Each structure stands twice: as C-alpha cells, then as structure tokens.
Amino acid sequence: QPALTQPASVSGSPGQSITISCTGTSSDVGNYNLVSWYQQHPGKAPKLMIYEGHKRPSGVSDRFSGSKSGNTASLTISGLQAEDEADYHCCSYAGDYTWVFGGGTKLTVL
C-alpha cells in the first residue's frame, strides 16, 4: 500500500481546472514543506512539476500550482489542455532520510 493516498483518477474538460489531493500523515506531508509532484506520460520517466509544496521549476507552466493544508497536499491544474493528460504522482520527505510516494492519479482530459 502506498504511504500517501491519491485518487485513482480525475477528469476534466479542456479549459477547466482540476485538483489532485495527496493525503499523508503528521510524519510526512504534515511535518515538512517538502512535497513534490511529478507528471508521467505513458512509457516515459516522471517529470518534476512542483517542489517544496508550491514552487515551480523553470520551464513548467504557471497553470500548475501546489498547496498544502495539514496532512494533505494538492496539485491544481488550471486551463486544462490535452497535453496535461498523464499520471501524476506526489512525493513527500518522511524524515530519517526517507521518502514516500502516493499511488498516482490518472488525469483524463475529456
């Protein structure tokens, strides 16, 4: 069982906004501002989209944003585009130099 809980799937129409949740515990998500999000297209390696909860790497669209409340982190994608269809994975530092991932969420753009 993945340590972090994500919805298995979410969907939205082009132009809409969606939010993917990532629920952990007070030992990981809730204790550190070190959640990152990764986009993964089929057959490809994951790509960093958000780090330290809300920061975007250079080159990542500002349509992607991250936030956290308590033990739950969230990834919001606004202005959905067809190219956003992919799997999204959250990850958190969990203390003692260990990391944990969520089970991944499949985003479908209708």
Partner 1 sequence: QVQLVQSGAEVKNPGASVKVSCKASGYIFNNYVIHWVRQAPGQGLEWMGWVNGGNGDRKYSQNLQGRVILNRDTSASTAYMELSSLKSEDTAIYFCARVDGSGHAFFDYWGQGTLVTVSS
* Interface residue list for partner 1 (CB under 8 A): 2, 6, 32, 34, 36, 38, 45-48, 51-52, 57, 89, 91, 93, 96-104
Instruction: Compute the least distance from the CB of residue 45 to partner 1, in Å.
Output: 4
Cβ-based neighbour number of residue 47 at 10 Å: 14
Instruction: Compute the least distance from the CB of residue 110 to partner 1, in Å.
Output: 22
Give the nearer residue to partner 1 in terms of CB position, either 100 or 109.
Answer: 100
Closest of 93, 80, 86, 79 to residue 35, by C-alpha: 93
How far, in Å, CA of 29 to CA of 53, rounded?
A: 9
Closest of 54, 41, 57 to residue 104, by C-alpha: 41
Instruction: Compute the least distance from the CB of residue 50 to partner 1, in Å.
Output: 9
Give the nearer residue to partner 1 in terms of CB position, either 48 or 78.
Answer: 48
